[in-house]
Chains A and B, each alone.
Chain A
Amino acid sequence: EVQLVESGGGLVQPGGSLRLSCAASGFTFNNYAMSWVRQAPGKGLEWVSGINSGGNVYYADSVKGRFTVSRDNSRNTLNLQMNSLRAEDTAIYYCAKDYRYPDVGEPLLDHWGQGTLVTVSS
């Protein structure tokens, strides 16, 4: 059974930093890209960042230069280092299992964690 468990959320002051982690199990982690998606209170889904199986990284413009995504394939863990946090970064952050390369016909964005809440406030 695929499981994704996020951790590391909490209350932080504007300008502060947090490091989120996502522990993955139930699938061959290093074969898959992974994504971080956030949801501000009462709002829709916003893709934040992704990393593919080769380690290539991608960011939304809203977080570029402030957030850094990484993965530890030996520990089946996805990380998101968030610096220079702003009030508008307040959201539930979800990790999601993304695509497999090469595409062998499997679904993508098929499993999501329960999310971890990040609140940026003074």
Chain B
Amino acid sequence: DIVMTQTPLSSPVTLGQPASISCRSSQSLVHSNGNTYLSWLQQRPGQPPRLLIYKISNRFSGVPDRFSGSGAGTDFTLIISRVEAEDVGVYYCVQATQFPRTFGQGTKLEIK
């Protein structure tokens, strides 16, 4: 199984400042079809997960443009350019290149 490792696990951020979360996979996430199925999810308290980014860098419908994703192969990053209060929650990377799907441990974003 592919192991997904996120850092940091906790991120206190000042409102209006950027935040960055890293995700590393234990093997390449490049599918045989050439796509890389790395997604980022946000989970606010008491809510189901919500898709933010898919295939490394594609923002899902309705996601603010302050969220961006980058990376390749085994190393990926989620950046929030200017953190807002509504961004508080836990962020997960997930690989969907193969079954079983595997998630990172989650990064808790808090406001300082």
- A residues with a Cβ closer than 8 A to B are 35, 37, 44-47, 50, 58-61, 94, 96, 98-99, 103, 107-115
Contacts and interface: CB of A to CB of B under 8 A. Distances in A.
Contacts of B50: 112
A interface: dominant SS: strand
B105 A44 contact: yes
Nearest to A59: B100
A41 to B, nearest CB: 12
Contacts of A58: 99-100
Contacts of A103: 33, 35
B111 to A, nearest CB: 20
A47 B3 CA distance: 12
23 contacts: A45-B92, A45-B103, A46-B103, A47-B100, A47-B101, A50-B100, A50-B101, A59-B100, A61-B100, A94-B48, A98-B96, A99-B37, A103-B33, A103-B35, A107-B39, A107-B58, A108-B39, A108-B54, A109-B54, A109-B94, A110-B51, A112-B49, A112-B50
B102 to A, nearest CB: 7
Interface of B: 1, 33, 35, 37, 39, 41, 43, 48-51, 54-55, 58, 60-61, 90, 92, 94, 96, 99-106
Contacts of A45: 41, 43, 49, 92, 94, 103, 106
Contact of B48 (A47, A99, A115): A115
A112 B35 CA distance: 23
A47 B49 contact: no
Contacts of B61: 107
A54 to B, nearest CB: 13
Nearest to B31: A103
B103 A44 contact: yes
Contacts of B55: 107
Contacts of B1: 61
Nearest to A60: B100
Nearest to A95: B48
A80 to B, nearest CB: 15
Nearest to B92: A45
A111 B51 CA distance: 7
Given A109-B96, A115-B48, A47 B54 contact: no
